[in-house]
A and B are shown apart, each in its own frame.
Chain A
Amino acid sequence: MGVEGIGASVVRKEDRRFVTGKGRYVDDIKLVGMTHAYFVRSPHAHAKVKSIDSSAAMKMPGVVGVLTGKEIVDDKIGNLICGWAITSRDGTPMKMGAWPAMAPETVRFVGQAVAVVIAETKNQAHDAAEAVVVNYEELPAAADIRAAIKPGAPQLHPEAPGNVIYDWTLGDEAATDTAFKSAANVVSLDITNNRLVPNAMEPRAAIADYNDAEEHFTLYTTSQNPHVARLVLSAFYNVAQEHKLRVVAPDVGGGFGSKIFIYPEEMVALWASKKVRRPVKWTGDRSEAFLTDAHGRDHLTKAEMAFDASNKIIGLRVKTYANLGAYMSLFSSSVPTYLYATLLSGQYNIPNIFAEVISVYTNTVPVDAYRGAGRPEASFVVERLMETAARQLKVDPAELRRKNFITAFPHQTPVIMAYDIGDFGASLDAALKAIDYSGFPARKDKAKKEGKLRGIGFSCYIEACGIAPSKAVGSLGAGVGLWESAEVRVNPVGTIEILTGSHSHGQGHETTFCQLVAERLGVPISQVQIVHGDTDKVQFGMGTYGSRSAAVGLTAILKAMEKVESKARKIAAHQLEASEDDIVIENGAFKVTGTDKSIALPMVALAAYTAHNLPDGMEPGLKEGAFYDPTNFTFPAGAYICELEVDAGTGKTGFVNFVAADDFGRLINPMIVEGQVHGGLAQGIGQALLEGAVYDASGQLVTASFMDYTMPRADDLPSFKLNHTTTLCPGNPLGVKGCGEAGAIGASAAVINAITDAIGNNKLEMPATPDRVWHAIHGNA
């Protein structure tokens, strides 16, 4: 692999700027003549906007303008859209209500913008926003799923009677019902998958700069996918034409899905920049992030699993209500459907599965993809059922899983996915060994003597990553293709630039992508530069989410590398007067095999650009591009085991051990992979123990700050013990599967399974706070 090649834990190239404070995030950028935006937001969850009086605000110091929802509609700026069409079981299309960037008539969640103040400083804009008088007529609100589906519930959108967006199904209902009728045992659970706030540490921000001479916009924004942002802003929102809009996503301080979407604030900043003929900057504060970033999860599910007399699973039946908030965010519709129900087979051979998903509107901020996006919800359903079944059937939870594992690949599940490869038994074995499972009963006894309740919980997750084969997702309703692009530029002096449509916001692409080049050409990574996040520099690309950047993005780079290498070989052979077939690439040089003749890469590059002596008919230059469209999803999978103790007196949970055994296929940089797992586990554990977005019945978000929403802190978490097993992904030449979401997908079930094992009560909701755990122990939950 070489010291910097594939498989080496290379220290990250990007870290020097981050540890010295030289990162460049959107809020760090200042433009000449820049103004500042502050939004006037609704304090009500549901209300009519009767009037907006900005006359006092306009007279405040430094105010450049006050713009309202009516003006944005008058200027024919388009409504926000959802880009994945879902069809209900009765054949009707999903019911999408109109979502203007600022509400002209009706607000439907607390925090929805109705106007924006543009001023010389942020303080001046903020002060003036306080002086904008909005007259609301309050309407009754439906703040959660149960309130929204009740007969007589307040109606959010005229397009969606009963607040139902779609009622969608997957799988064979009749066959599943038949399986349940023949079952020896049935296990059932009611599950709440708690609503989460992504909370990337960098709040969203945007700087829009309109150049009226060129009729050209530049947008600096906190985006995971700047090209998708440009496409949507131009094709659907009518803010700017695509060739007149440059979108730059510089250093971005975490995303976790929440920065995939194009939000009203970016649209308004662009539009306002043209209105006031000045650059406009908006930087959200944390309160705005809580109120306006797309939230995650928020499902209510009834799930049942049927077993035959030998404890083999014969059926799974799931009915889920998903809260999509007040409007349909960009990919919201796909999360509880094609990213959720398609993973309900888990790691198991389940012949019959039927899932019904009903997505509803509520007077809350929109819900969309958050780390894992649908797959954590599926994994939680399956793994809670498996643990519950083991207890009900009085069998060992590890052995019940093993008995039902899929062991032959490829495996077609009844819910679309065709698993290409895996070895679930190997991951489970590695995790069992790491936690010393056979020693657990003795440890539990010892803890009991010390007055502690000790429990152990499993989670054997699978996810579909490498998102995604374009043709497949197109057939399922996606409005975009999900390939990735790359361009490899070998400069005339032999240094290399890799332009990628992937976007790094913590994942370390500037290092791992270079490692591929080092592996193939034998050049040091210091000679390679990764260019990303700027639509003026990089060819169209799809961005980073769904653990796709290695499986799809890096494969695109590999495809472009192969083209560059092929041309370079021809040039080298020509220069060395040798046969192209005899050329091998070693340590940055092209060598004639079996001889001492060689030519260094810089000389090949120089020859390509001087073009004085190239093979007949060859174009000058050494630069190639590629688009790579995967043929299947990838299927990372693994086993997590959590061992913990509960203090029966306080309900407080303390970790004893948390082990992971993941199969991500080939690892490019094990150090970075492990970092991704650590972070994912923290978010999964956060969901299980700490985090939960709470709206009160009137639709006020009562967990709208870090004082109220419990983010995992350093002393809430254990150190993790990570293990890896490997089956190489056959679907891409690198054999990689993706690792970004696994921890968040698998961890929460392991924790809840462990606590319920410890306390001997299976009825426990997330987040399992000490209060909830205490009540579960003491019987009056």
Chain B
Amino acid sequence: MSTVNLTVNGKPVSANVEDRTLLVNLLRDHLNLTGTHVGCDTSQCGACVVHIDGQAVKSCTVLAGQASGANVTTIEGISNGDELHPMQAAFRDNHGLQCGYCTPGMIMSAIDIVNRYGGKLDEDTVRHELEGNICRCTGYHNIVKSVLDAAGRMSVAQAAE
């Protein structure tokens, strides 16, 4: 057992966990942040994507201990109070989700994609970049639409800052 100290969604947290505990299990089982999902056991599906120090990471590939000292953001930490993050709003407005299970990971990956590419995103790039996130419901059509829509919204928001 080890004590892990990190920042999650802006709040310092401390947990005493087995050394083999994955970050996703720390989030779900110890911190009750169940928005981050587990969809596979081979780090393929991306349902568990969170941001570690601003970068999208599959939280099933990281031991909780490895995240010690890091700044972790989950799906629960991206909206501004009642105001949805532009990516969350774009997924809702473009019907970019159906069962909702892959959605948190999709949104966290998509924010990272837009952060990296800015306004230079096109459909092919979005499709290529989303390779690490599997959705079984939407056929990706409306997810791609959502990400491109959000890229526009996020650049507008940035320009306004």
Contacts and interface: CB of A to CB of B under 8 A. Distances in A.
A199 B134 CA distance: 10
A90 B5 CA distance: 71
Contact of B101 (A25, A671, A713): A25
A21 B36 contact: yes
Interface stretch (A212-220, A488-496, A503-511): A503-511
A202 B107 contact: no
Contacts of B141: 675, 678, 717, 719-720
A714 interface: yes
B59 interface: no
B126 A12 contact: no
Contacts of A713: 130-131, 134, 140
A199 B107 contact: no
B79 A20 contact: yes
A705 B39 CA distance: 11
Contacts of B134: 201, 706, 711, 713
Contacts of A123: 18, 20
A201 B42 contact: no
Contacts of A12: 92, 95
Nearest to A285: B41
Main SS at interface, chain A: loop
A449 interface: no
Given A202-B101, A252-B99, A21 B76 contact: yes
Contacts of B136: 199-201, 254, 256, 679, 683, 711
B133 to A, nearest CB: 7
Contacts of B138: 675, 678-679, 682
Most central of A200, A675, A681 by chain B CB within 10 Å: A675
Contacts of A21: 33-36, 74-76, 104
Kindly state the interface size class of chain B when it binds its partner: 35 or more
Interface in A652-682: 671-672, 674-675, 678-682
B41 A286 contact: yes
Contacts of B131: 713-715
A298 interface: no
A20 B35 contact: yes
B133 A714 contact: yes
A174 interface: no
Interface in B20-54: 20, 28, 32-42, 44-45, 47
B8 interface: no
A25 B35 CA distance: 10
A130 to B, nearest CB: 14
Contacts of B139: 678-683, 712, 717, 720, 743
Nearest to A680: B139
Given A201-B47, A678-B139, A11 B76 contact: no
Nearest to A504: B99
Interface string A672-713: 101100111111000000000000000000000111000111
A719 B33 CA distance: 34
Most central of B18, B39, B89, B126 by chain A CB within 10 Å: B39
Nearest to A18: B100
B116 interface: no
A672 B75 contact: no
Given A123-B18, A506-B137, A706-B45, A19 B142 contact: no
Interface string A120-164: 000100000000000000000000000000000000000000000
Contacts of B127: 714-715, 717
B101 A201 contact: yes
B37 A675 contact: no
A329 B107 CA distance: 36
A11 B33 CA distance: 26
B92 A15 contact: yes
Nearest to A23: B100
A705 B40 CA distance: 8
24 contacts: A15-B97, A19-B75, A19-B100, A19-B107, A20-B84, A21-B33, A21-B35, A21-B75, A200-B99, A201-B101, A201-B102, A201-B134, A201-B135, A254-B101, A287-B41, A506-B100, A506-B137, A672-B95, A675-B137, A678-B140, A679-B138, A706-B42, A706-B45, A713-B131
Given A20-B79, A202-B101, A717-B139, 14 more contacts: A11-B95, A18-B97, A20-B35, A23-B100, A27-B38, A200-B136, A201-B99, A201-B134, A201-B135, A252-B99, A506-B98, A678-B142, A683-B139, A707-B42
- Give 7 nearest A-B pairs by CB, closest first: A21-B35, A253-B101, A18-B100, A682-B139, A506-B99, A706-B44, A506-B98
